[in-house]
Structures are given as C-alpha cells and as structure tokens.
Structure 1
C-alpha cells in the first residue's frame, strides 16, 4: 500500500523559486528570445590615467562610479579623489570643504551628469557654482547621520538611506526644496537604495531590523515616493531586495531570498509575485535600462543580461591581454557601460564600454 506525504504550499513555492525552473503563483516569465541572440561587442576606452604620488613612491588605480546619458563617466581614485571624464579629458570634482566637513561617501551621477554625494550629516552636489549642500526638512537633521546616497534624477529629487548603528531611515525629496526621511510601515532596521526613476519613484530594501515587532521575512523590497513607502509583492517566506529601477520606472530588478540567502534574480512588482530572470544566474544587478537590459556583477566579473541570456562582458570587450572587467557602475540609453577593469593585483582602471553594433539574431 502506497502512502503520500502532503508538502506545505510554502515549501513547494520556496523550491520553485530556488530551482529557477518554475514561477511563483501569479508571476509572469520574461519572454524567451526567438532564435539565437548574440550580445554586442564593445570597444573599451580608459577614462582617466593611473597616476603616481607626488614623490613617485605609490601608484593609484581608478574605478568607475556612474555614467551619464551623454557618456560622461564619474570615477574615483584610490586616494579618495573623484572626477568626471571622457576618454579624452577629465575634470576633478572640487573639494567639499565646509559643505561636508567630514567628507562624503561614493557619489552618484544624475542622467544629465550632475554628481551628488552623501556623508556624515551632509548631502551635497557639484554644480558650476561649486559645492552646494541640500536643504533638509527642519526638525529631521538628527536622522541624517551617515548618509548613503542611492540615486538622483534630473528633477533634483534624491534618495538613499541614512543609518545609525542598527537603525536606518530611507529618505527622498527635492535637493533644493527639502529632503525628508520616511518611516517604514513595519519594524525598524537598516536599509539600502537601488536608485530612482525619472518620475521620482525610488526603490529601497529594508534589511535586518534592529527592533522587530512583526513576523516579517527580510530583506524586504519596496518602492518609495514623497507620499510614502509601499512593499513589493512576494510569496510567504520569500525575501526580496530591490537593486535597480529603470529610468522609465517600467522595470524593477532585484533578488529573491530564502532564509536570508539569495536564490536568484527576478523582476519585482507591487502587484505580482517575483518573476525570475531566466539565465541570470547569481548576478547582483546594478542597473537596468528602459528596455530591460540588466548589468551587474557575478563572482567578481562584470556581466549583462538581456532576453534570457547572460554575458560575461570581458568576453565581448576589446581589452588588453590580462585585463578583466571586475565591476560595473551603470549603463546609459546608448548602451554605454561604466565599468572597472583590473589586471591581477597590480592596477585598476575606470573604463567606458561602447557597443560596436546592435545585438544580432
């Protein structure tokens, strides 16, 4: 006589997400490509030369931090200085001075090419007039402790997370008219930001709560506007992170988690369960375009994903022998990618990848 064991629905759903071969109930699969799609090849241009210290004893590398729609790259040097540049010329960002007495963290770049950065109780941007501090909403200054900026759009709306020990406050608002912190619908905890769309919709991730008052699964992805925070939909027992949003707001990509361990890459939504990106593997998404092309990092290599196929960008880029693309910072509407290349442990370089032709079927 045979016997059967009933498996809880939650377990079946978790296995489906981990396997990557099935979808959660209500999720729609990304369309598989018809025929074979080949990724474009890329020309590689270095942005900013490696340089030596004043006494010639040390040599510093550079790394990419972002890319504007025009192709201008934001990059940083290993000594902490930052600059804007194209392959033919660069311009150093001015010191922040009194606008951020304790310095700033890694800056971000708006689509039009304005750099912004956050630091200890400081939020600044660089303009033709110099370094400008943001206006913080009166009475909330104490919440802006260690500010990690996640993104800025061309309307001057900025977003990110401010943290203090195990507590984090997501923030959003107009740089000029007032930036304010937001309150999580449930629990308190640290957070991270995945950027902001042209319309001012930001994506954020609520991470491990320092003070748990609800039986929720973490991490927990959400969208945020000046009107409030809205959690993205996920099945019971599954965590999610929102790592990037496209400029038009159509695509939100992130990762799914089981017992706080990542299980795959997915397209997220406020109304539908996560839809796995087939073929994306274990990549960590960094940016996504208006057409759904994703760039990110997997196992220390810069990768891209489109139409169900993941590509190691080093394999399709014209790099000098021995160089590898180890990180990616963004992609613009032209398909240009800001990335960091390295050769062993000796040197890193900020580079711009430019597609040499459209993807061919």
Structure 2
C-alpha cells in the first residue's frame, strides 16, 4: 500500500485490519505485523521560507532532499538527525516522517533540544481515518492537547504522519572541538562541568578514552568560549568525528546487541562499570550506547528504575522486548491514548507491547 495523497491514506486506513507503517525503512525498531503501508508517496516540500526559518514538508520527503534545500541557504535542521543504517544493517532512504516518528536526535540535543522541540505542527491520519491537524507554521503557545510533541517519538502507534512543519537554524559561522584523553568517570565529570558553564556547548561526548566538547556560533564568541574552557578543563583543540558519535559508527560493523540507554548523567559511570560493556556516551552521559557481544547482559536489571533502555539491535535468541515495560500509571495513560487515536489497534501491532 502506497498512498499518493492524504485522502488516499485516509481511505486505506479505514479499510485496513493491521498496518505496518514504514517510510524509508532505515530506522524502525521492534517486531511488527500487518500489511506494509509505504508513506514514500507522500513526498515534497510544501513551503520553505528561509527568512522565517520555516519549512513544511510531506512525511515521505527524503531527509537528504530537505538537507540539500536547507544547505543551499546555509540552514539546517538543528537537532542533527542520526543515520542508523550502518548500525542496523539497513539500506533505503531516510524520510522526514520517520525522523519525527522516532524523535531522532543527535549530539546537538544538549543545546537545542530534540526533534520534537523543533516541530511547529503536524498533520496525521488516526485509526479511524480522520485527518487531524495540530500546531502551525510559527511558534506559539499551545492550548489544549500538544499533539505535535505527542506524535514525535510515537513510532507510528497513534497515527500516520502526512505533513510536518519545522523551525530551522542558520549554519553557524564557526565550530571548534576540544578534546582530552580521559577515563570514563573523569571524562563525564568534565563534560558535565562544561555543560554547566555559561559557554553554550553544542556537543559533549565520550568514546574510546576521549572526552569531546563542541562549540558553535560567531567566530569571536567561539574562540573566547573555547579559550575559557581550555583554561578551566585542560582540553586542547582537535578534530573529532561528530557524525561517528551521532551514528554510533564504532558499533556498526561489530557483532552483538546494541542498547540505547537514557539516564541521569551522574549515573552513567556506575552503570557501565556494573555491566562491564563497551560504551559510547553522548549528551554529557545522559545517553549511553552499549555493545553486548553475547546478548546476555542484564541491562534493564542493572538500570532498575533510574533509566530507560531500548534494545536497538538485538541478536538471534534474545527474548527482551525492544521497549522496556511501562509503570502501571504510564501504561494506563498509554492505553487511553491508543484507545482514543487507534481504537481498532490498526497501527504497528506488537511494536510497543
């Protein structure tokens, strides 16, 4: 099934029993069943106003097309979309609807927020086939339900996106990365100190014994801030591959299960030590990627109630669910939302429990 319009999408949903929602097929996780619904036919940029830093695109529009259009005006999507194809062993073309559905966000989240924070509006079709619009093309106070942020990260469980609106960002004049050889506890302590400073950090990561801090902005400001952090932390200017941090490249060609952990940055060193697994840390330690070669580590047991673990890349024989079990109160809220937006349980059955 490949709708070419929002009206087609509505008709297909109304007549469907179970649908597996897919865009470019590059970043979906979880076990799903149902007939494939390919959103790539919902394609094209509807509006781009560089002066207003606003872009509106249909959900199946390739991310590369949007990136190229923005780059022609020295602009970008600020939240630095990860490319998970190598890590997940996928091919295909990433589409902007999938970016929103997974709330895909990279290292710059520590400065500008996640994908959901750049969203201005959405259009989507719910499980009844009704077209719903929320938000708009400018930032404004939200009244009623904030469906824009609800749809970001919903993994297609509540509706199929047909159109998304973003605020975009001008590409900064200058960028500097500061690097230091640090063990994990000291490295993350230094990253937290940098993030707690007034120097406006746009990246704070640790990998393979190196702590990395990124600064962006006007050239004079970047140079000043970098100098202050060098004095305070003892880092030096050096090149760093932020795309490799963003895309978890170090784990891509290596066998084993890959976990994505969200937790308090101060908890990261103890968690990694308990599990004894190789780690890449982003967001100052708030995001931890773990490589489990055997797939037997008790990751969720080690985290307990202090974090959130998603099994991004399982290996054969693993029985853990992709997403962690929800607390009873959260599960009740989730069930209520699904009953409202997808009363027939049409969308991605089995993906999120």
TM-score if structure 1 supplies the norm length?
0.28
More helix per residue: 2
